Amino acid sequence: MQPFFGDLHVHTRYSLDASTQGTRTTPEQAYRFAQGEALAIQPWVDDASERSIQLDRPLDFAMVADHAELFGEVHMCSTPGVEGHESWECLVYRHWPWGAYYLFNFMSSMQAAHLGLCGKNDAVCNRAAASPWQEMQQAAELHYDRSPDCVFTTFVGYEWTGTQPTSGGNLHRNVVFRNADVPQLPISFIDRSAAEELWRALDEQCSQRDGNCESLAIPHNSNISAGYMFDGLRDNGSAMTSEYARLRHRYEPLMEIMQKGGASECFFEPGVSRDELCDFERQPIDNLAGFNNPPGPDTGFARKALGDGMSLRRRLGVNPYQLGFVASTDTHLGAPGAVSETNYVGHGDADVSAREEIPPGLPDKIKNNPGGLAVLWAQENSRDALFEALQRREVYGTSGPRIVSRFFGGWNFSPTLCSDEDRIAQAYADGVAMGGQLVSASASKPTFLVVARQDSGTVARPGTALQRVQIVKGWLTPDGDYREHVFDVAGTADNGAAVDPQTCVTRGDSFRELCAVWADPDFQREAPAYYYSRVLENPSCRWSQRICLEKGVDCDRPETVGEGLQECCAPEHQSLIQERAWSSPIWYYPAKQ
């Protein structure tokens, strides 16, 4: 098995919210960028760009995931001669892109409808949508390395983009296809305005028809779903059924735990949560629409969903939220893997637009971040091997660094396993990898092997050393109450590692690799539980702090706070971060449940 690093959440010129912000990147250019080529980005003067970006290391895989709902409108409004190009809606798109951003997105993602330019039965927009959908498939095929070298893999996919209308809660999913056998057109939120309807349509138009079509969906940004992403109900608000739970379990084996719009691991508030490390890249509100509602324990965080899933399994016989973890960027520049904190230019979001000029001050709102990476354990870098890793959840997410993380569970791991040269082979032979499920055995308690290695970095930008590895446990009491606890199992928080926020210079002890065999000291045989590892780097400067320092901001001297730099001195600005990796969980269920 090898760890393959990639990005499954990439928007190009065919996403309306990207194109109205000046993004011109084609799917083909996005895949070239992922493999190491430079990418020109906005602002543009005629056909010339003032700047470009480039990865310091190529990715192993990527997927363009443009918003399916407005493929047709974007194509017709930006392509002379296409039917609908001279409609009033397209005139708004070309001459008032800011207005088009809100108008088109409101109709598509909150009202599940096209505007009037689409004609009867939306036929005009459906015809126009065929062109970008074909281009995405062709670009993916062109850049998929089918040679024995297996250097780079592409997936065909898209984003299903819906919003809960009364709360503004995010309901988005990225749909990933196993191979080039895909539906004639993507199934959008306008076509099927509930996740359950999406899964059933994927059955009808993909898995149940002739051919080799196979797919899965990855929900993302549950942190701003206003609690609707994992609310324990069906999409129509009725009680969840066993059939619904089985369908969801089959189509959604994963969730995106981190992207530019924040982390979705867990909620933190002093006096409410004891895990301060949950206070990491969190959004100030609980919804996508901008309603001023602060996040809370029930907003839609992963740990709560994992606990609720075990409760639902007791009632329904299947866990609808048995979710593995990946991360990605959600870039709207067509820049997969652009996750560096040291040269962040924003991701083409409407929060801070660079359509007309490079914005003064910060390139993005401080609530946003560069995003993360998906890491898949597979024997080769191919569509089949990587897709199967996604299905079995032997995957993890990082907040950006290329940390290597392994996590295994079993009943008889030796306490000295870390010192054995064949420890990984033994772990596979005697246990299950991340994403797996432990079968009840006669042993007194489960044991876990965690292994982590720091990002090796590059000569120009060495990786940051590791501070510690934790195991997060969540379980149900006999009364059905949910509990969770975080255990430090390797490394230490007291290693003296620190960073000077005024210089970003780091100091203190560090670890290149950490390993531990840990047995659950509080294991209860009748209590269902999940376990996952969290690997933490030493503290480092956040992207925003680096730019504030480069621009000479001294918050004690107001005259140094130039235009666009006010957030450098905002009370909510966190100047330091601890980058991390989250493994997919391992589940334990009692034999009788």
Question: Taking a C-beta distance cutoff of 8 angstroms, is the pair 29, 11 a contact?
Answer: no
Q: Give the mean pLDDT of the chain.
A: 95
Least-confidence region, from 59-63, 141-145, 509-513: 509-513
Task: Determine the angle formed by the axes of helices 195-202 and 242-251, rounding to 10 degrees.
Answer: 70
User: What is d(CA 532, CA 534) in angstroms, rounded to the nearest whole number?
Assistant: 7
The type of residue at 333 is L
List of E strands, 415-512: 431-433, 437-439, 447-453, 466-476, 482-491, 498-499, 506-507
Query: Which pair of structure tokens corresponds to residue 326?
Result: 């990946």
DSSP of 294-355? ---TTS--HHHHHHHHHHHHHHHSS-TT--EEEE---BSSS-TT---SSS----S-TTS--S
Percent over 90 (pLDDT), the chain:
92
Q: What is the pTM of this model?
A: 0.97
pLDDT of residue 442 exceeding 70? no
Helices (H), 71-215: 71-78, 88-95, 97-105, 123-143, 195-202
Domains by residue range for the chain, with CATH: 2-398 (no CATH), 406-539+578-589 (2.60.40)
Question: Taking a C-beta distance cutoff of 8 angstroms, is the pair 371, 259 a contact?
Answer: yes
The type of residue at 411 is W
Residue 526: other Cβ atoms inside 10 A: 12
Mean pLDDT calculated for residue range 356-375: 96
pLDDT of residue 186 exceeding 80? yes
Q: How far apart, in Å, do the first and last CA atoms of the chain sit?
A: 32
pLDDT of residue 587 exceeding 70? yes
pLDDT of residue 303 exceeding 70? yes
Residue 156: other Cβ atoms inside 10 A: 27
User: What is d(CA 132, CA 128) in angstroms, rounded to the nearest whole number?
Assistant: 8
Question: Taking a C-beta distance cutoff of 8 angstroms, is the pair 219, 231 a contact?
Answer: no
Mean pLDDT calculated for residue range 105-114: 92
pLDDT of residue 39 exceeding 70? yes
Mean pLDDT calculated for residue range 155-183: 97
DSSP of 381-425? SSHHHHHHHHHHT-EEEESSS--EEEEEEES---TTGGG-TTHHH
Q: What is the pLDDT of residue 593?
A: 62
Residue 113 CB-density burial (10 A; 0-12 exposed, 13-18 middle, 19+ buried): middle
User: What is d(CA 55, CA 450) in angstroms, rounded to the nearest whole number?
Assistant: 29
User: What is d(CA 369, CA 346) in angstroms, rounded to the nearest whole number?
Assistant: 8
pLDDT of residue 441 exceeding 80? no
Question: Taking a C-beta distance cutoff of 8 angstroms, is the pair 187, 418 a contact?
Answer: no
CA distances from 349 to 20, 327, 337, 364 (A): 10, 18, 16, 8
User: What is d(CA 581, CA 449) in angstroms, rounded to the nearest whole number?
Assistant: 16
* pLDDT 10s digits, 48-85: 998 999 999 999 999 999 999 999 999 999 999 999 99
Q: Which of 353, 331, 283, 370 is nearest to 544 (CA)?
A: 370
Q: What is the pLDDT of residue 507?
A: 82
Mean pLDDT calculated for residue range 207-225: 96
User: What is d(CA 68, CA 1) in angstroms, rounded to the nearest whole number?
Assistant: 34
pLDDT of residue 525 exceeding 80? yes
Length of the chain measured in residues? 593
173 pLDDT tier (thresholds 50, 70, 90): very high
* pLDDT 10s digits, 310-340: 999 999 999 999 999 999 999 999 999 999 9
